[in-house]
A and B are shown apart, each in its own frame.
Chain A
Amino acid sequence: MPFIPHTQADVDEMLAEIGVSNIDALFDEIPNELTSDRLDHVPEGMSELTMLQHMAERAEQDQGYTCFLGGGSYDHHIPSAVWDLTTRGEFMTAYTPYQAEASQGTLQLIYEYQSMMVALTGMDVSNASVYDGASGLAEAVLMSIRANKKNKSGRVLIAQTVHPHYTQTTRNIVQNQNVIIEALPMGASGVTDLADLAAAAGDSSPGALVIQQPNFFGRMEDVDALTDWAHEQNTLVIAVVNPMSLGVLKPPSEWGTNGADIVCGDGQPFGVPMASGGPSFGFICSRKEFMRQLPGRIIGKTEDLDGRTGYALTLQAREQHIRRGKATSNICTNQGLLVTAGTIYMSLMGPQGIRETAITCHRRATELQQRLLQIDGVEEFFPGPFFHEFALRLPVPAVDVVQAMMTESVLPGLVLSDFSDGNLVDAEHGLLIAVTEKRTNAEIEKYVAVLTRVLQGNTSPANPQAGN
């Protein structure tokens, strides 16, 4: 039963009033070839009981594993206060309320969020958030095309070391908007090579260059050289960053001589559970000079007539409820509830807490990597420094290792071939492993023991002596 309060009599009366014969006729202006009778991947409705049972069954599949998965979503500790506060009724909306100024608490929270994101990235301005990291990149690409007055080429180079899902999402969103996305080849060490970049750029300089740091493989790009190269060509630099890594890495505002121009990424590491892949929130920050091209809105601090502090929606004049088709974006909103969690997370952790967490992640990841490299046949997929995620080359197909290790309650990582469209040599032997501050010594020991046993072809239950 759909939860629509109108009776057939109500509907008939409304249609008669406006002189339309039936509800479908309201959509006549949409061309037939663009409509679909049904959505192939959406099943029929379920009763509430069936739905609850179905979801409980699904949730059960996630239980009991030790998680070393990453690839954009990470298993960080979330202080209990984060969701205790976030799920209070006052915060329970996904949106900035449309009577925005009546919701001073929500506006203040978004204002604090923007201030923290600006402090973290070193940029001048942050918007109130976007859907997720991937759509954030698409928005950043469109923004760079609007903002780059010196270079109207419409070409955007995306390093192959950027998360493949981000690149695909960006292509989908921008492909009909006169933006040309070109992939950059990847060097042998899993980072973008400056010589390849210059060759790919060709004679005409691209409008923007997208660099991810740490990149999809966990590796460190030479962001200073790449940024300086881009700026010499009047090419804007879009930085995709993991906010947690900024606890130890320099902010994108300090990349090269002049810093990145637009910074985006996914806020999931800050207080948002992995939740089988979503939802999360995306962030997008930029230099002040490009502020007018930021999609979405900014919350500003002001004073009322009596001199009291108040918060107001600013920069909304270019949003779609005012600009319609000419809005800076017609696919963005802010992710109010998840931003609430992210903001509370940042306020509880503080710069020191984020830094300590980032350092702990890096130490534990390094420790696990060093231990695993001692196993016969296991080697670095790409040699070189990383933050908290690294790829290994296994002597057997990684998918077999994942299946074997899951029977011992370890989710050992992502299989690289799932993220390669054939352009990554030997991807089927590649395993991408993320280690957060949550992984204990015992869990790291267990990983080493289980992988050792799996590679020896012995999948018998763990030796109680092995893990402590």
Chain B
Amino acid sequence: MSEIPNEMKYAATHEWARLEEDGTVTVGISDHAQQALGDVVYVEMPEIGLTISEGEEAGVVESVKAASDIYAPVRGEVIEVNPKLDDAPETVNEDPYGEGWFFKIQPSDLADLDELLDAESYAEVCDAEDH
């Protein structure tokens, strides 16, 4: 059973989004997603400054067995990417909700967050996939 913290919002495509105190949104992939991918070997990040619409591809996470698109859970502008993942992509496996974050977005509409799943609903999505 994977860990699904309550303070995040989730997309059905397994990204998490967390509203920070400064109004930005941090994005990563869930514990469930990193387990399914296996050892992450590379993360392709969006360009800083890129404006993305909701549900748009914003990067690729690559493991030894698959390469999967990362979708932006909220609309806005990419303002920061996690520099640590360049040299240490395994951080995604080790700490998916902490040091393994992918990028930060300056959201254009915070209401986007309300469209995402809460921990309970996301757990149901994961359960359904496991069965």
Contacts and interface: CB of A to CB of B under 8 A. Distances in A.
Contacts of B42: 292
B66 to A, nearest CB: 6
B69 A318 contact: no
A323 B63 CA distance: 12
B47 A318 contact: no
Contacts of B66: 317, 322
A292 B63 contact: no
Nearest to A318: B67
Nearest to A313: B64
A35 to B, nearest CB: 32
A292 B65 contact: no
Nearest to B69: A326
A322 B47 contact: no
B44 interface: yes
A308 interface: no
A292 B47 contact: no
B118 interface: no
Nearest to A149: B47
A468 B68 CA distance: 67
Interface in B30-86: 41-42, 44, 47, 62-67, 69
A318 B41 CA distance: 12
B35 to A, nearest CB: 17
Interface in B13-34: none
A318 B69 CA distance: 11
Contacts of A322: 65-67
Interface residues of B, number: 11
A292 B64 contact: no
Contact of A317 (B47, B62, B69): B62
A292 B60 CA distance: 11
A76 to B, nearest CB: 39
A317 B63 contact: yes
A323 B47 contact: no
A292 B44 CA distance: 9
Interface in A292-343: 292, 317-318, 322-323, 326
A370 B123 CA distance: 80
Contacts of B41: 317
A152 to B, nearest CB: 9
A318 B42 CA distance: 12
Nearest to A291: B42
B37 to A, nearest CB: 10
A388 B73 CA distance: 58
Contacts of A318: 62, 67
Contacts of A326: 67, 69
A317 B42 CA distance: 11
Nearest to B62: A317
A367 B47 CA distance: 55
B41 to A, nearest CB: 8
Interface string A144-161: 000001000000000000
Contacts of B47: 149
Contacts of B65: 317, 322
Contact of A323 (B44, B64, B67): B67
A317 B69 CA distance: 12
Interface in B61-116: 62-67, 69
Nearest to A150: B47
Contacts of B64: 317
A292 B59 CA distance: 13
Nearest to A319: B67
Most-contacted residue by chain B among A317, A322, A323, A326 (CB, 10 A): A317
Given A317-B41, A318-B67, 17 more contacts: A149-B47, A292-B42, A292-B44, A292-B62, A317-B62, A317-B63, A317-B64, A317-B65, A317-B66, A317-B67, A318-B62, A322-B65, A322-B66, A322-B67, A323-B67, A326-B67, A326-B69
19 contacts: A149-B47, A292-B42, A292-B44, A292-B62, A317-B41, A317-B62, A317-B63, A317-B64, A317-B65, A317-B66, A317-B67, A318-B62, A318-B67, A322-B65, A322-B66, A322-B67, A323-B67, A326-B67, A326-B69
Top 7 A-B pairs, shortest CB-CB distance: A317-B67, A317-B62, A318-B67, A317-B66, A322-B66, A323-B67, A149-B47
Interface of B: 41-42, 44, 47, 62-67, 69
Interface of A: 149, 292, 317-318, 322-323, 326
